[in-house]
Amino acid sequence: MPIENAATAELIKALPKAELHLHIEGSLEPELMMALAAKHQVTLPYATIDDVRRAYNFDNLQSFLDLYYLGASVLRDEDDFYRLMWDYLCKCKEDKVVHAEIMFDPQTHTERGIGFEVFMSGFMRAIAQAEKEWGQSTLLIMSFLRHLSEESAFETLEAAQPYLSMITAVGLDSSELGNPPQKFARVFAKAKSLGLLRVAHAGEEGPVEYIWSALNDLDVHRIDHGVRSVDDPALMQTLAQKQMPLTVCPLSNIKLCVFSHMREHNILSLLDSGLLVTVNADDPSYFGGYLNDNYHALAAHLPITQEQIKTLAANSFKASFLAQDKKALWLAQVAAL
């Protein structure tokens, strides 16, 4: 097993990076979960923080999602959402994530009677503070829960109308199998007509047909995960030719048993095939690490070179929704290292 060397560790620390696949609800650390449960008298099936951590053993995506929605049930008031966002943005500062495109799941909250005004004002207060304090750059991606109906997604888009100036893109997450992208084709078309950009989870557990559907039916700008692309050479060729970004999440893929071990991860073959691959944390609190931990895990278990690490960091800016001039500034900084 290649051991990560000190120079690689230094490079990972020094590189400016963008994070493009991060669920804010998945950054809820056990400490905050327990504190908010006590604050709001929510009963969780855990007595201690260690009990929470011990529960983080997943067989597949659904076994994780069950805990993820349970955890999110402690988020109740504006201050809770502020704190959740603030804690993640502080991690960005630590990991040199200079730009973050952050997903949130409105339906996880609106279904519990918590309205857009509550979570949006909490998020925006933290975002404005981080921008003011250290120049943190942030965009928001509103994700629809694909296990819910098309009608529920339309209602969510409607409820989001007063907040559209704060939302850059829509996304699609939750239980993939049995909920193909085409289920949301009309919602995504409406989102496009409102000027929203589009991303979708596809090919995490689902088959390559779901990746084709995300491209053809949702007109996405990025595929979240997409690691199953390797099953279809024609799809690989299309993704490479379009330079369609994949937001790959290595630690997530191991925790959810998409690959049996980091040694088995296909990120380097995706990269070698000319795809625009990026590295991301997905749900860092549940999957054992933030963005730099994902880079370190690759360096510890795969024969990744420093040039490839720099390519992954550069790709994160290329695949972002930043304006061209901002991309160019960050790409120059990556190249200078």
Give the contact letters, 218-257, x = binds to ligand HPA (CB under 6 A), - = no: ----------------------------------x-----
CB of residue 225 to Zn ion, shortest distance in Å: 7
Least distance to ligand HPA, CB of residue 92, Å: 18
Q: Is 120 left (phi over 0), alpha (psi -120 to 50) or beta?
A: alpha
Binding residues for Zn ion, rule: CB under 5 A, are 282
Q: Which of residues 20, 61, 118, 298 is near ligand HPA by CB under 6 A?
A: 61
Number of residues that bind ligand HPA (CB under 6 A): 11
Measured between alpha carbons, how far is 94 from 325 in angstroms, rounded to an integer?
25
Positive or negative torsion for Cα 175, 179, 180, 181: negative
Q: Which of 19, 95, 217, 282 binds ligand HPA (CB under 6 A)?
A: 282
Residues 190-209 that bind ligand HPA (CB under 6 A): 201, 204
174 binds ligand HPA (CB under 6 A): yes
Q: How far is the CB of 204 from ligand HPA (least distance, A)?
A: 5
264 in catalytic set? no
Between vectors from CA 238 to CA 234 and to CA 240, what angle results, nearest 5°? 115
| Catalytic residue from among 25, 29, 176, 204 | 204
Instruction: Count Cβ neighbours within 10 Å for each residue of 2-17 and write b for 16 or more, e otherwise.
Output: eebeeebeebbeebbb
> Can residue 101 be called a binding residue for ligand HPA (CB under 6 A)?
no
According to the binding rule CB under 6 A, does residue 26 interact with ligand HPA? yes
The pair phi, psi for residue 202, each rounded to 5°, is -160, 140
CA separation for the pair 299, 283 (Å, rounded) = 20
* Short-list 298, 318, 300, 317, CA closest to 308: 298
In degrees, rounded to 5, the angle at the alpha carbon of residue 303 between the alpha carbons of residues 298 and 307 is 85
Q: Catalytic amino acids? A: 204
Binding footprint of ligand HPA on the chain (CB under 6 A): 23, 26, 61, 68, 173-174, 201, 204, 252, 282-283
